[in-house]
Amino acid sequence: MPVKIAVLKETRPNERRVALVPAVADKLAKLGAELHMQSEAGLAVKLPDTAFKNVTFAANPQGLVSDADIVVSVQPPSLDVVNAMKEGAILISFIYAHKEVELTKLLRDKKITTFAMELVPRITRAQAMDALSSQAALAGYYGALLGATSIARMMPMTTFATGSIRPGTVLVMGVGVAGLSAIATARRIGAKVEGYDVRPEVKEQVESLGAKFIDTGVDARGAGGYARELTQEEKDKIASVVTKHIQAADIIITTAAIPGRPSPKLINKAQIDGMKSGAVIIDLAAEGGGNTEYTVPGETVSAGQVTIVAPLNVPSLLGEHASELYAKNQYNLMELFIKDKAISIDWNDEVLAKSALTHAGEIKNEAAKKAVEA
């Protein structure tokens, strides 16, 4: 029997992505999968049902998933959908268990094997499955362009008959995937760019993109590629160095987010109050509360003459390419356990083991288990 895969239509507000695109549907069909998709799931990215070959469509999500071996989505599915899934089925989606406690408990109790895309380990072998990184790269690109179009000045140095305009200064705070993408994009549009991160090892990456790295002398490397918690003394030392760069910037793009935890506050009110008139902050970490003390997630606010823009679900704003990359991430993950037209999960595989949120009636991820079962 072929592996039956069901693709859900996204129903959460302002979600424009879809978990399957035609090119990936063709590849899954070659793996021996039988594809079923909720009607009009791709319309948000201008993909009508007719764009998909080898796919059967159904309107009702519960009926769609009831006999599916694998269910895929972008955002966490509803409780009704999970209740309709058969015991032992596989779900592949972003979940964020700390925000979805009831859903995670239901996935556990239904004995669903859940591969949470945010749990894919950040190791070399898993790069092709790393949806956090693919979506973050898009967010960084969008953030740089949003900053450039939110400020009343040009970015590149330009010479006119009346004289020259100096290049705009962009400060990127948090140099992970999103930050590097923002730096590269800001450089392409002619800005003078600086990058700051508490992890000194990213200095070479920042400089390779033509930007200047701000070195504070504090090493805050933590587990999993993320920054650790800082002491107050370290925070004060960083602030003394970074503040002058904050106050000189035309645009600041902040990207510091830690899955499962609130976004760290990188910029306080006093620092923003001292920024130049007309400056703009693009806070790409608004999902976790934001990186500034003035941030209001999902809104644009003014603090004196400074504007703070805090968009939510930024990758979805580039839904076409975000869907394409996400669908490829999921395909590369499924390729690990769809063998000879059947499901065969090797739990000794580090990628699969670490990506698993629930399996066989247990919550497998320890951090999620503490959050859900506390």
Q: Active-site residue numbers? A: 122, 127, 130, 133, 226
At residue 25, φ and ψ (nearest 5 deg) are: -60, -40
Residue owning tokens 């996935």: 107
What's the Rg (C-alpha) of the chain? Answer: 22
Residue owning tokens 């602030």: 239
| Sequence-ordered list of residues with C-beta below 8 angstroms from that of 31, at least 6 positions apart, any chain | 3, 334, 335, 338, 341
| Token pair recorded at residue 134 | 């693919």
**Three-state SS annotation for the chain:** CCEEEEECCCCCCCCCCCCCCHHHHHHHHHCCEEEEEECCCCHHHCCCHHHCCCEEEECCHHHHHCCCCEEECCCCCCHHHHHHCCCCCEEEECCCCCCCHHHHHHHHHCCCEEEEHHHCCCCHHHHHHCHHHHHHHHHHHHHHHHHHHHCCCCCCCEEECCEEECCCEEEEECCCHHHHHHHHHHHHCCCEEEEECCCHHHHHHHHHCCCEEECCCCCCECHHHCECCCCHHHHHHHHHHHHHHHHHCCEEEECCCCCCCCCCCCECHHHHHCCCCCCEEEECCHHHCCCECCCCCCCEEEECCEEEECCCCHHHHHHHHHHHHHHHHHHHHHCCCEECCEECCCCCCHHHHHHEEEECCEECCHHHHHHHHC
d(CA 69, CA 55): 15
At 345, which amino acid appears? I
d(CA 314, CA 298): 10
The residues facing 302 across adjacent strands are: 307
